[in-house]
A and B are shown apart, each in its own frame.
Chain A
Amino acid sequence: MSTPNHRLDALRGDAAPVDHNARTIAALAGNPGCDRRAVLDAAGIHKQNTAVHLGHPAPFGQSPFALARARSFEELVKADGCAHLLRLLRDTLGLSIPEVAYTDIADVGGNAAHQLRHTHTRAELRRAAEDDERSCTLFDHPLLKLPVAGHEVYLEPAVIAFQIGGRFHIVEIKSFAIIDETADSAQVAAASRLSALYVYALKALFEAEGIDPDRVSHEVVLVCPKDFANHPTATLLDVRQQLASLRRQLSRLTGIDRILDRLPPDLSFTLDQSPAELARAIRTVEARYAPECLSSCEMAYFCRADARACGSLDALGRTTRDDLGGLESVDAVLDLVGGDLLASPEHAEILGQLRHVGAIYGEHTEAKAVAWAS
């Protein structure tokens, strides 16, 4: 009987495993129902190369301009001893005037080794949690660690802020603008998923240190540019929901053997097979495509092509799929409306809605035709 790790190594073949990072873990939580992504990630398979081999390369990457912009905004927020950040935290968290102590853990005595920085982070946070009197308030460049699918992943949140109320807050600095107190919902969702991951890792660290994990707040401070200026503003973000979904997803990752048990024993995703063979191998693992995947998963274009080819409702988005619950494909829906498929009692309501929408479309096109004719 082979262990899950052996199976995963066999799936990857000779290629070197790709490490998880904060982005990939957050993306996992973004689509928890996708077995394909769970297996590929757990096995550490290079999804970009795989997608290229399959002929569906993802035409995105991280833009150097976006990275530079993000870096410069973060520098601005942290400049002059975190002057901007302190002002914002005093406003949002009610930080008192004496709470300004700042520790930078970007390196330990000039040594930036991950293990060392992580140990230092743990020591600093423990000291802060145990001793309120002399504790530090801002921890810059902390390094957290999280075991994901048997591998240790280092995570680096922007700042951890400690408040005298005895709670630790993750501060996330993002360079997308909050205009008129609203921001792009997709960006906020991505930021809250990422922050939830940091909250999760911090809670795990506290648990390991024997400190009450509830001292990590589920409210994250999101710092963004305000309106059209480069002036930072802060809002509190509740990440409880993302945290729950992340927890479920990570427990699924450790329980990856349940998915593996369903797969044929000789399955392999190595790139030395032909694209057709590889595609067949990958299709044995079920995917759950949603249009949102396009912005976070390298395999998205392959999955989309598949979803379209079999007329799956997934390609139309989650809302549509949920509205038409129980129906698998576009053809089935059309059959139902056309009367070819006998409507079962649970489909009666869906049928009613579809007919209603059909009637509205019908009226609309009729009205248009009349307008054109006159």
Chain B
Amino acid sequence: MGQLVGCVTVELDDLEERITELRGEIRLAKAGGDDAKVRRLRAELRKAERAWDDALEPDFEPDDVPLLPIREQVHQALTLLGVPSATKMIVAVNEAFFAGRVTTTQLTSLRRDEEKSFRSSPYARPYYLCPALTAELLSPARGLLAISTWPMDVRIIGPLSPRTGFLTSAIRVAEHITRLTGAGGDASTEAYRLLTRMARNIPGATEGFGRADPARVISAADAELVVHLESDRRHRREAAERATARLNEVTRLFGAGLKTASRSAS
């Protein structure tokens, strides 16, 4: 930091010297009646003065800062997906549809911050980004993010939920692409790449190596989803009832782990 300040000072000194020199030269040229030279020198003086201004207050902000804060972007991606999702999927959706620049590393601290914020002043924010809860122990599921305003049973992860979640998100992504094309625009290449990547692992959703067709992905994913949906819902509903009955307002959002007791005690 000291080095940086030193650099700026040297630059400012040089510029000030140059400005004084230029002013002197302008006076001389004016006295000599050389108007063309005066105009050229004044242009140079203005350039030097602008450089001096810039050097005094350097603009550290990059030009292309996304307009939304990270948690808003995550919220946007999760709302599109509609199910608890892994950070990688959130990043992929954010990149495909919202041209955002969220990285997985930025998301690691997010969950902890949200919990801290909720504990210090509950419900101060309209929504919180919280972990999905495992159906068995109602503890936070590893690496899966959800939104606090979703109903309890949507935030629960049962044994079948990883698969139903995957199929549902594939359908949501395909639907969003259809919406975009229907509105006259077209989805980005990244969006199609994401859809194709997901479709490869859904039976009957793709043929060959080409770009996946959204309508076909939706029907194929739906066909498999029907098989799992009923028992998955039953599982999650059971767990949600347990959660509502047994957990307090913090653990209902952020999960009850075997570690929670010691953590809250410390």
Q: Is the CB of B163 within 8 A of A86?
A: yes
Cβ of A63 under 8 Å from chain B: no
Please encode chain B, from 57 to 101, with 1 for each CB lying within 8 Å of some chain A CB and 0 for all others: 000000000000000000000000000001011000000000000
Cβ of A90 under 8 Å from chain B: yes
Cβ of B239 under 8 Å from chain A: no
Cβ of A84 under 8 Å from chain B: yes
Q: Is the CB of A101 within 8 A of B259?
A: no
Q: Is the CB of A108 within 8 A of B203?
A: no
Whether A80 contacts B159 in the complex (CB less than 8 A), given A106-B142, A111-B258, comes out as no
Cβ of A81 under 8 Å from chain B: yes
Whether A80 contacts B257 in the complex (CB less than 8 A), given A97-B203, A103-B159, A110-B140, comes out as no
Please encode chain B, from 148 to 162, with 1 for each CB lying within 8 Å of some chain A CB and 0 for all others: 000000000001111
Cβ of A361 under 8 Å from chain B: no
Q: Is the CB of A83 within 8 A of B165?
A: no
Q: Is the CB of A110 within 8 A of B198?
A: no
A87: chain B residues within 8 A (beta carbon): 200-201, 203
Interface residues of chain A: helix, strand, loop or mixed (majority): mixed
Cβ of B9 under 8 Å from chain A: no
Task: Report the bound CA distance from A110 to B165 in whole Å.
Answer: 22
Whether A108 contacts B258 in the complex (CB less than 8 A), given A83-B198, A84-B201, comes out as yes
Whether A110 contacts B257 in the complex (CB less than 8 A), given A79-B88, A87-B201, A97-B224, comes out as yes
Residue among B142, B198, B259 making CB contact with A80, cutoff 8 Å: B198
Cβ of B256 under 8 Å from chain A: yes
Whether A109 contacts B259 in the complex (CB less than 8 A), given A98-B227, A104-B142, comes out as yes
Cβ of A82 under 8 Å from chain B: yes
Q: Is the CB of A110 within 8 A of B258?
A: yes
Interface residues of B in 222-262 (CB under 8 A from A): 224, 227-228, 255-260
B28: chain A residues within 8 A (beta carbon): none
Question: How far is the CB of A139 from the nearest CB of chain B, in Å?
Answer: 10
Question: How far is the CB of B121 from the nearest CB of chain A, in Å?
Answer: 24
B169: chain A residues within 8 A (beta carbon): 80
Task: Report the bound CA distance from A83 to B196 in whole Å.
Answer: 13
Q: Is the CB of B257 within 8 A of A102?
A: no
Q: Is the CB of A83 within 8 A of B203?
A: no
Task: Report the bound CA distance from A101 to B160 in whole Å.
Answer: 5
Whether A82 contacts B258 in the complex (CB less than 8 A), given A100-B228, A109-B137, comes out as no
Cβ of A136 under 8 Å from chain B: yes
Task: Report the bound CA distance from A87 to B203 in whole Å.
Answer: 8
Q: Is the CB of B227 within 8 A of A80?
A: no
Task: Report the bound CA distance from A106 to B139 in whole Å.
Answer: 13
Q: Could you say which of B88, B224, B255, B258 has the most chain A C-beta atoms within 10 Å of its C-beta?
A: B258
Please encode chain A, from 99 to 125, with 1 for each CB lying within 8 Å of some chain B CB and 0 for all others: 011111011111100001000000000
Interface residues of B in 121-157 (CB under 8 A from A): 134, 137, 139-142
Task: Report the bound CA distance from A103 to B89 in whole Å.
Answer: 20
Cβ of B166 under 8 Å from chain A: yes
Q: Is the CB of A90 within 8 A of B203?
A: yes
Q: Is the CB of B86 within 8 A of A102?
A: no
Task: Report the bound CA distance from A111 to B203 in whole Å.
Answer: 36
Q: Is the CB of A80 within 8 A of B258?
A: no
**Which residue of chain B has its CB nearest to the CB of A87?**
B201
Task: Report the bound CA distance from A151 to B257 in whole Å.
Answer: 30
Q: Is the CB of B260 within 8 A of A101?
A: no
Task: Report the bound CA distance from A116 to B137 in whole Å.
Answer: 14
Task: Report the bound CA distance from A82 to B88 in whole Å.
Answer: 14
Q: Is the CB of B201 within 8 A of A86?
A: yes
Whether A79 contacts B163 in the complex (CB less than 8 A), given A87-B200, A97-B224, A111-B257, comes out as no
B88: chain A residues within 8 A (beta carbon): 79
Residues on B facing A (Cβ under 8 Å): 86, 88-89, 134, 137, 139-142, 159-163, 165-166, 169, 198, 200-201, 203, 224, 227-228, 255-260
**9 A–B contacts from the bound complex (CB under 8 Å):** A82-B163, A83-B201, A87-B200, A87-B203, A100-B228, A101-B160, A102-B160, A102-B162, A109-B257
Known pairs A81-B163, A110-B140, A110-B259; list 5 more (Cβ under 8 Å): A79-B88, A97-B203, A104-B141, A109-B139, A111-B259
3 nearest A-B pairs in the assembled complex, by CB-CB distance: A81-B162, A110-B257, A83-B201
